[in-house]
Structure 1
Amino acid sequence: MAPLRVGFVPEHFSTPIHFAQAHFGLDATLIPFPSGTGHMITALRAGEIDVGIGLTEGWVAGLGKGDARPEFGDGGYRLVGTYVETPLCWAISTGAKRAEIMSVDSLKGGKIGVSRIGSGSYVMGYVLADEHNWLVPTAGAGTAHESAPPYSDFVVLNTFANLRDAVNSGAADFFMWEHFTSKKYYDSGEIRRVGEIYTPWSSWKIVAATGLVGDPRVDELLAKLDQGIAYFNENQEEAVKYISTVLDYSEEDAREWLKTVRFPEKTAGVDPKVVESTVEILVKAGVLVQGKGMQPSAMIAKTR
C-alpha cells in the first residue's frame, strides 16, 4: 500500500515527527503546511493528504461549522489522535511602528489578520473577543452566535510572512501566532507584541480522512509517533540542536519551549471531554452554532 501523505506544520512542535521518520522508519510522505490547519482541512477534503497534525480549534471548528461542500457532507476527516497535551500560547502582534496600538483593548473593531477563514488564527480571534466581552448581540438576537463581528475585517493572508508584512503596512492591525515562532521577530524588531492568549484546550490533534478511519496504516503512524515522542523526551539536546538549526529558532528559545510543552505517551485516541469543552467554548465565542453542524461525539473516530 502507498505511504500515507501526512500534513504537518513545519515548526518546533514537529520535532517528534522528524524523529519518528529519522530514527524509527516512519513510512509516510511528510507534506509541510506553513499556513496551518485551515489549509490542511482544504487539502484533506480535496484528497491531497491523508492525515493532518494540527490545531485542535481548527479541526473542531471545521467539523462543527457543517459548511463543507455537499460532496464532503461527512466533513472529510475525523479525529483519531492527540499530539500535544498542553495548551498553546498565542502571541498577539502588531506592526513595529503602530503607535496607535498599545494594548489588547485597542484591537476591538480593528482588522484582524488570519491565515485562512476557519484556521486557528481565525478561531482564536473570536475566543479573544469573548474573553474581552467584545461580542455584542445583534438586534433581536438572544445568543452569542448571533453577535455582530467583533472586528471590522478578517484579512486572509495565508502565511506568517504575509501576516507580519500586513501589520507593518496597515493592511491588518494585528494577528495571532504561536509565541515562540513569533518571538524571533520581536527580538529583531520587525513586529511588536501586544499581549497573549492561551487556548482553553490541549492544543494539537491528529485527524485522518474519513475513508481512512480504521486503516492499519493510521495505527502504524500513531505507533511511530509514539516512538518519536519517547525519543524526543529522552534526547532533549538533539531536539534543541534540530530546532535551533533546521527550524531556525534560537537555542535559548528552543530550551524555553521545551519547558512548556508536553506530548502524550500514546497518541492514539481523543478524550471526548476535550472536544466537548472546545465546542462549548467555540459556541460561546460565536464560531459555532448550538445544535448545528457535527456533534462532538461524531467528530471522534478513536476515543481514549
Structure 2
Amino acid sequence: MSTRKPLRIGYIPEHFSTPLHFASTHHNLSATLIPEPLGTGALTTRLKLPIEDDKAFDVAIGLTEGFVADLGRSKAGGKDAGFGLVGTYVESPLCWAISTGAERDEIKSVQDLKGGKVGVSRIGSGSYVMSYVLADSQGWLEQGQAPFGIEVIGDFAALRKSVRKEKDAKSTDFFMWEHFTTKHFWDNGSIKRIGEIYTPWPSWMIAARDPGDDERLDELFTKLDEGVKHYGKNREEAVQYISTDMHYSKEDAGEWMKTVRFAAETKGVDVKVVEETVKVLRKAGVLDGKAGDGADMIAIERKP
C-alpha cells in the first residue's frame, strides 16, 4: 500500500468536471480536488510551482489549447516545461462563445471586433489562445499579431464586468468563454452573444508534473474512467448535479450533454491530435517555429 499523499488535482469548476466529481463521490478516487476558476493558464502556473507550495498541483484537467501553448513556449525557450500531457478527458471540440455588453450597440457582429480590445483571463489561457485562432479564421493576422488589444482581466465574472464597462472595472470590447457557461448571462440580458468558434481539436486533456508517478496516475485513470461510465449511465443524476452545484438550468444542462463526448479511456494522448493543435497555433501566431513538436509534449502516448 502506498504511503504517498493523495494527488492534488486542479480543475475548472464548470459542468465538464462532472465525471471527475463522480469519480470522487462514487468510485473512491483518492485525490484532493481543487477548483481553479481562472482557467487553464492558472492551472499550468500551479503545475509548475515548487511541489512543497500549498498552491501547487500534481495533476490538472484543462483545455487542450492552453496546455499545448504553454508547453510549446517552454520548449521554444529551451527550459523544462515542468509538466507533460498524460491523458485525454474530452474528445469533442469546445464551442467558444463571443460576447460583449448588452448595451454595446456599436458591436453587432464579429466583424465589428477588428481594432477593438479582447478580455482574457490570463496570458496563455484558452481565452487568450482562442482570440488568435479567431483572428486567423477571419484573415486578420499580420505577422502573427492579433488585430486587437489584449487586456488581462481575470475570472469569468470580471470578464463580464469588463464588457459592460462597470465602474472600477477594466474595459474591453469582447471576451470568449464556453457557450453554455455564458448562456445564462445572455438569457438575463447582461451581455449579448455576437458569434462563436469551435476548437479544431479535442477540447480537454490531463497534464501531470510527474508522469512517472505510475501508481497514483494509474489509479486516477481507472477511477476517472469509472466516473465517465457513471456519467453516461446516470444522465438524470448528472443533470441534477450540473443544475444545482453548477447553477445551470436543467434545460441547458441537458442540451450541453448532447454536445459533449468524454473519453472512455482517459489514459494517454494521441500524438497526431497534439501535432495538429501545434500546427494551428503556429499558424495563428500563438507559437513560433521553434516550439516543440507534439511528441515532445506528450508524457504518456495513447496506444492504438
> Please, what TM-score do these two structures have when normalized by structure 2?
0.93
Unpaired segments of 5 or more residues in structure 2?
51-55
Partner of 1:258 in structure 2? 257
CA contact (8 A) 2:119 2:173 kept: yes
Rounded to whole Å, the distance in 2 between the matches of 1:190 and 1:39 is 26
The alignment status of 1:155 with 2:151, answered yes or no, reads yes
2:235 maps to amino acid: Q
- Per-residue CA shift, 1:211-254, capped at 9, x if unaligned? 34343101110110000000000000000000001110000000
Rounded to whole Å, the distance in 1 between the matches of 2:72 and 2:114 is 26
The alignment status of 1:192 with 2:192, answered yes or no, reads yes
2:99 aligned residue (90, 93, 102): 93
1:13 maps to amino acid: F
1:124 aligned residue (111, 114, 130): 130
Partner of 1:20 in structure 2? 23
1:187 maps to amino acid: D
Rounded to whole Å, the distance in 2 between the matches of 1:299 and 1:191 is 37
How far residue 67 of structure 1 moved from its aligned partner, in angstroms, is 7.4
CA contact (8 A) 1:50 1:212 kept: no
How far residue 68 of structure 1 moved from its aligned partner, in angstroms, is 9.0
1:62 maps to amino acid: D
Rounded to whole Å, the distance in 1 between the matches of 2:230 and 2:121 is 32
Partner of 1:289 in structure 2? 288
1:63 maps to amino acid: L
The alignment status of 1:234 with 2:230, answered yes or no, reads no
Rounded to whole Å, the distance in 2 between the matches of 1:8 and 1:21 is 13
Partner of 1:216 in structure 2? 215
Equivalent position SS for 1:30:
strand
Equivalent position SS for 1:109:
coil
Rounded to whole Å, the distance in 1 between the matches of 2:218 and 2:177 is 31
CA contact (8 A) 1:78 1:213 kept: no
Partner of 1:181 in structure 2? 181
**Root-mean-square deviation over aligned CA pairs:** 1.3
Unpaired segments of 5 or more residues in structure 1?
138-146
- Per-residue CA shift, 1:125-157, capped at 9, x if unaligned? 0000000000123xxxxxxxxx33321x21111
- What is the number of residues matched between the two proteins? 290
> Please, what TM-score do these two structures have when normalized by structure 1?
0.93
CA contact (8 A) 2:69 2:281 kept: yes
Rounded to whole Å, the distance in 2 between the matches of 1:294 and 1:68 is 6
Aligned identity (percent) is 59
2:62 aligned residue (36, 54, 62): 54
- Per-residue CA shift, 1:83-104, capped at 9, x if unaligned? 0000000000000100000000
- Per-residue CA shift, 1:162-204, capped at 9, x if unaligned? 0000000070000000000000000001110000000000000
Equivalent position SS for 1:65:
helix
- Per-residue CA shift, 1:16-48, capped at 9, x if unaligned? 000000000001000101110000111011130
How far residue 303 of structure 1 moved from its aligned partner, in angstroms, is 1.1
How far residue 69 of structure 1 moved from its aligned partner, in angstroms, is 8.4
